[in-house]
Structure 1
Amino acid sequence: MNTDKLPPYISASDRVILFDDVCKLCNAWSNFIIKHDKHRLFKLCSVQSEEGQAILLHFGLPIDSYETMLYVEGNQSFQKSDAFFQVMTKLGFPWKMACIFNVIPRPVRDWMYDRIALNRYSLFGKYDYCTLPSPDHKTRFLNAKL
């Protein structure tokens, strides 16, 4: 794992949320970000994409099974509940109020996160294919070819 240099496709000022594009819950999360990120702070990136795969490899994470949301800011990465709280804080009021649950010890928060993440397909469903962003949302996604 190399955390001294920037991950591929990411600049020092980028804030990137990686998500599982076939997961219905994860797609709902990315739509939530698009709707509520009024200042366009975040870029989204599917873990199944070329860019997502390269970023996962950079941080030493598996590229064939996805058990966590990954939030990347410059050369730092955050996973599980830490990733969630980093994003919610930056979305501002009222969303950062969810960070009150950050008082719960990380092992407990991450255990709860894992229960949802590991069962997300059975709880929320799964797409048979990766969804494509609508034309007006394309600029919200990390894409090396743009």
Structure 2
Amino acid sequence: MIEKGKKIILFDGVCNLCNGAINFVIKRDKKDIFRYASLQSEVGQKLISERNIDISKIDSILLIDPSVAYYHKSTAALKIARQLSGVYPILSIFLILPKFLRDWVYDFVAKNRYKWFGKKDNCMIPTPELKALFIDQ
């Protein structure tokens, strides 16, 4: 199911902001580090269950590094940015800020994401050329 050495990003498959973020990451993942699955998928639910993650406390994104652990909220977003091509790794400097501060901003956006960006009726279906990157297909 999970390719060795790959990190998994679990995301809210019906959230327009989350889908846009995944498309953004895919375009900038030049080292082919990440694989993707929606939180709502069978694979996503299995990964969550295996790690005893309380999904009621996590809004929209999880980064699973099979060799280490999992990260959520702002830590996940910044650790993902650290791996991207371009100037985006610079954003990881925000990891020096206290987690409660970073997560406050993250939670504010997550709480309003459907209102601001909308919501789909179904999870994202990747194009044929991107299908191999999604482990829930």
Question: TM-score surpassing 0.5?
Answer: yes
Shift of 1:102: 2.0
Distance across 2 between alignment mates of 1:79 and 1:12: 21
**Per-residue Cα deviation, 1:43-73 (whole angstroms, up to 9, x for no partner):** 0111111100111112223467861410001
Distance across 2 between alignment mates of 1:12 and 1:74: 9
Shift of 1:11: 5.2
Task: Spell out structure 1 runs of 4+ moving beyond 6 A.
Answer: none
Alignment partner for residue 22 of structure 1, among 7, 14, 27?
14
- Residue identity (%): 37
Alignment partner for residue 77 of structure 1, among 70, 75, 87?
70
TM-score by length of 2: 0.89
Q: Kindly provide the amino acid, as one letter, of the partner of residue 18 in structure 1.
A: L
TM-score by length of 1: 0.84
Match of 2:48 in 1: 56
Alignment partner for residue 101 of structure 1, among 71, 85, 94?
94
Q: Kindly provide the amino acid, as one letter, of the partner of residue 59 in structure 1.
A: R
Shift of 1:30: 0.7
Shift of 1:104: 1.8
Match of 1:6 in 2: none
Q: Tell me the matched-pair count.
A: 136
RMSD: 1.9
Q: Kindly provide the amino acid, as one letter, of the partner of residue 91 in structure 2.
A: A
Shift of 1:91: 1.4
**Per-residue Cα deviation, 1:118-138 (whole angstroms, up to 9, x for no partner):** 221111110011121000000
The within-5 A match list for 1:105-124 is 105-124=98-117
